[in-house]
Amino acid sequence: MRRAIGQSLRIGVAAHAVSLLRVSRWRATGSPVTVLAEHTIATSSAHPFDAIASALRALLQEQQQVRSLAGWPAAFVLADDLARLWRVTPPPGATRIDDLEAAAGLRFQSLYGEAPSAWQIGADWNAVQPFFAAAVPRALLASLTMVAEEFRLAVVGVEPHFVSTWNRWHGALKPGAWYALVHDGLMTLAPVADDGVRALRVLPLPAAPAADPAWLTHTLQREALLLDLPAPALLQACGAVPASWLRAASAAAAAPAAAAAPIGCEALDHARQSLGAGFSPVAQLAWGGAR
């Protein structure tokens, strides 16, 4: 299979499965996204990253029989439970990247009780205001890199799922809105204030129909109280956003000012949701923040 201009691969990596997608930035090259393959993982508590590498190798070998993957740009999107995300406050007087890296490492050790040396840490480094950092196990990165080199893929990025979608969509947030990623029964909530994201909260969604607009409004109001922030005017979300939340947005807009209307919700990736409606969770993971 020859690669058309604007086409690339996205590989979703979760503890239980891997997936391979072909995405295109140009309509002339075909569908914006095509699920090429998925492969379940025989989990191993002793060697989980080896199990992921074996499943990925099997998936790519199957594809190699029908199409050459050599030279294709490939982005890995990791399930958030394979990574760690945390907020870092820069030390007073920090002027060098080394100061910020040290602060991130100390905060990591404080939160997770282990040395950061086994993790690859990246962040939107900022010496003036708090920022978020992400860490991925070096052993997992080594496994993914090894398999990518075997199939001569050109790796263009490795990101946790939340980071991938945040980088893609945060520029579209409206004033007063919070951000959320809804995926595989979880909502990763990012309350936003003037100084950026205040926290990251991973919240399980109740089973339908309990995950309704009333639940969403109560949850957002509770998180606002915990963070000493005003409740958001709007939630802008990506992923498997319940349809009832989106319908509540029009109800909130139409309600009288004095009425206790639910907090509205908008899907930032609404057009993509219809295309990926039948995708499995691991395929939705791979699509992540694709442009």
Does 288 reside within a domain? no
What per-residue confidence (pLDDT) applies to 258?
45
CATH of residue 204's domain is 3.30.420
62, 92, 146, 252, 271 from 152: Cα distances, Å? 15, 45, 10, 51, 33
Does 258 reside within a domain? yes
What per-residue confidence (pLDDT) applies to 200?
94
Does 199 reside within a domain? yes
14, 29, 124, 160 from 22: Cα distances, Å? 18, 11, 28, 19
pTM of the model as a whole: 0.91
- Contact predicate 32/45, CB 8 Å: no
In the chain, the number of structural domains is 1
| Distance in angstroms (rounded) separating the CA atoms of residues 208 and 206 | 6
Does 219 reside within a domain? yes
Does 152 reside within a domain? no
Does 255 reside within a domain? yes
In sign, the C-alpha dihedral spanning 230, 130, 178, 227 is negative
Range of the domain at 194: 172-272
- Contact predicate 266/246, CB 8 Å: yes
Does 178 reside within a domain? yes
Does 204 reside within a domain? yes
**Tens-digit pLDDT string for the chain (291 aa):** 567 778 999 999 999 999 999 998 776 556 789 999 999 997 766 789 999 999 999 999 999 887 889 999 999 999 999 999 999 999 998 889 999 999 999 999 999 999 999 999 999 999 988 999 999 999 999 999 999 999 999 999 999 999 999 999 999 999 999 999 999 999 999 999 887 899 999 999 999 889 999 999 999 999 999 999 999 999 999 999 999 999 765 555 555 554 567 899 999 988 777 677 789 999 999 998 888
Estimate the share of the chain in helix, then strand, then coil, as percent rounded to the nearest 5.
35, 30, 35
- Contact predicate 244/237, CB 8 Å: no
